[in-house]
Amino acid sequence: MAFRLLKLAQTSASVRVLAAGAQRVRGIHSSVQCKLRYGMWHFLFGDKTSTRLTEHSKVITVDGNICTGKGRLAKEVAEKLGFKHFPEAGIHYADSTTGDGKPLAEDYSGNLSLEKFYDDPRSSDGHSYRLQSWLYSSRLLQYSDALEHLLTTGQGVVLERSIFSDFVFLEAMYNQGFIRKQCVDHYNEVKNVTACEYLPPHLVVYIDVPVPEVQRRIQKKGDPHEMKITSAYLQDIENAYKKTFLPEMSEKCEILQYSAREAEDSTRVVEDIEYLKFEKGPWLQQDDRSLHHLRLLVQDKFDVLNYTGIPVYLPEITIGAYQSDRVLRQFRAVRDCPLKTLSEVLAAGLDSWPHPKPPHKHGTCCGPSILPLCCPEQKETAHQEIFQMSFIYNSLC
């Protein structure tokens, strides 16, 4: 399994510089930064997670359609509550939170882009589902970072969307004919074995903006790629939110719903949050032992991503063993000579660069799911699109 190459830096996203600054009182340093790796001995010697959790130790997600002001509201709510803000996870989330923090080249990031999706959502190379599957893995990694931060420091977190709402885009893609039914089945199987390992947010803030208003905002924004989004796709996203996501989450957590105008007043939103009792949800049933196991999980990024590997063949996220080998050699060449570009490496010839171990004779698959292949030669000619998770490549830096 290719994810076994995953060796992320000891310092995860929650260990980086945080919004809340450190303070010094009489020479004693206090900070919300997580600096030590948590383990079994910490638990046995009295490091109980519950001792650092307060009434403000909450997970809040802000959800809504495209261009509804989620980012602005999430940031303002986090600032006023003293929480850590996690901007929406994108294609390069893993790159930005590991290594030197710089995004990897597109060749090593699955050859994915939202612009390509907006321009050609029915691309024959399976780009739409690769993008959706990749973004789910990014959200999964970010949600684990958010929980790690909460359990380690006690500071609340505010996220823009999460693994629990990611499916609304999948449903919209399928309804519009962008992806196949097999992709939906694969996504649901991955979600069923990953999302169940995590506690849901304490609160979901939903911004309800009608589709015509969303389109008006997109036009005003002026992004030529986003302007190609159809009203039918936006309507399917809204329907998935209202008919599936909100009813399901209302059984697990608190829900606050606002119109576009109401969401502009972040002070009112904060006041509503402070009035909530938070009297439902699985967080109420947690004890130090269960929080201990959750904390062990979220700090182990290999474990977090390992469950996204489902042993089923899906062309959209599969590449041949030899193609994977070539990409890996290219990356190592660029890594070893950082001043050289990928084009310079290719011009010089890969034969002059160190070779990694040869691929498995049965082939390989790299992506959010690590899938077995039966004929690497056929897959190499059938799938020229490179799909390599940046999580794996970043570990080789």
Say what the pLDDT of residue 343 is.
52
Pair 187, 233 in one domain: yes
Residue 176: which CATH number?
A: 3.40.50.300
User: Within a 13 Å sphere around the CA of 249, how many CA atoms are in the beta-carbon half?
Assistant: 31
Whether 290 and 322 share a structural domain: no
192 belongs to a structural domain: yes
Shared-domain flag, residues 168 and 206? yes
Strand 28-30 to strand 23-25: parallel, antiparallel, or no bridges (unpaired)?
antiparallel
Please state the φ and ψ torsions of residue 208, each to the nearest 5 degrees. -95, 105
**Is 369 contained in some domain?**
yes
Q: What is the dihedral of CA 139, 145, 147, 149, to 10 degrees?
A: -150
Q: Which of 284, 306, 328 is the last residue of a domain?
A: 306
Same-domain check for residues 336 and 284: no
Q: What is the pLDDT of residue 102?
A: 80
Query: What sign for the dihedral angle of Cα 299, 301, 306, 308?
Result: positive
The closest alpha carbon to 152, from 284, 291, 331, belongs to 291
Among all chains, which residue has been given the structure tokens 């290594």?
A: 99
pTM to 2 decimal places = 0.78
pLDDT at 382: 30
Identify the bridge partners of residue 355 per DSSP, sorted by sequence position: none
Same structural domain for residues 194 and 285?
yes
Count structural domains, the chain.
Answer: 2
Query: Closest Cα to residue 366, out of 385, 387, 381?
Result: 387
In order of 256, 341, 390, 392, the CA distances from 98 in angstroms are 34, 21, 10, 11
Q: Is residue 29 part of a domain?
A: no
Exposure class string for 195-210: b at 16+ Cβ within 10 A, else e: beebbbbbbbbbbbbe
Query: Given this model, what pLDDT does residue 317 score?
Result: 86
Question: Same domain for 186 and 211?
Answer: yes
User: Same structural domain for residues 321 and 273?
Assistant: no
**236 and 199 co-located in one domain:** yes
| Domain limit, last residue, from 288, 306, 324 | 306
Residues 185 and 65 in one domain: yes
First-to-final CA distance of the chain: 19
Residue numbers in the chain where pLDDT is lower than 70: 1-36, 43, 335-397
Reduced 3-state DSSP string for the chain: CHHHHCCCCCCCHHHCCCCCCCEEECCEEECCCCCCCCCHHHHHCCCCHHHHCCCCCCEEEEEECCCCCHHHHHHHHHHHHCCEEECCCCCCHHHHHCCCCCCCCHHHCCCCCHHHHHHCCCCCCCHHHHHHHHHHHHHHHHHHHHHHHHHHHCCCEEEECCCCCCHHHHHHHHHCCCCCHHHHHHHHHHHHHHHHHCCCCCEEEEEECCHHHHHHHHHHHCCCCHHHCCHHHHHHHHHHHHHHHHHHHCCCCEEEEEEHHHHCCHHHHHHHHHHCCCCCCHHHHCCHHHHHHHHHHHHCHHHHHHCCCCCCCCHHHCCCHHHHHHHHHHHHHHHHCCCCCHHHHHHHCHHHCCCCCCCCCCCCCCCCCCCCCCCHHHHHHHCCCCCCCHHHHHCCC
Reference 45, options 259, 272, 292, 300; nearest CA is 292
Statement to judge: residues 81 and 124 lie in one domain: yes
**What is the amino acid identity at position 103?**
P
Report the pLDDT value the prediction gives residue 353, as an integer from 0 to 100: 42
- Note whether 60 and 202 are within 8 A (CB): yes
Which range of residues forms the domain containing residue 196?
37-306
Whether residue 110 contacts residue 134, with contact meaning beta carbons closer than 8 Å, is answered with: yes
Residue after which a domain boundary falls, among 306, 338, 358: 306
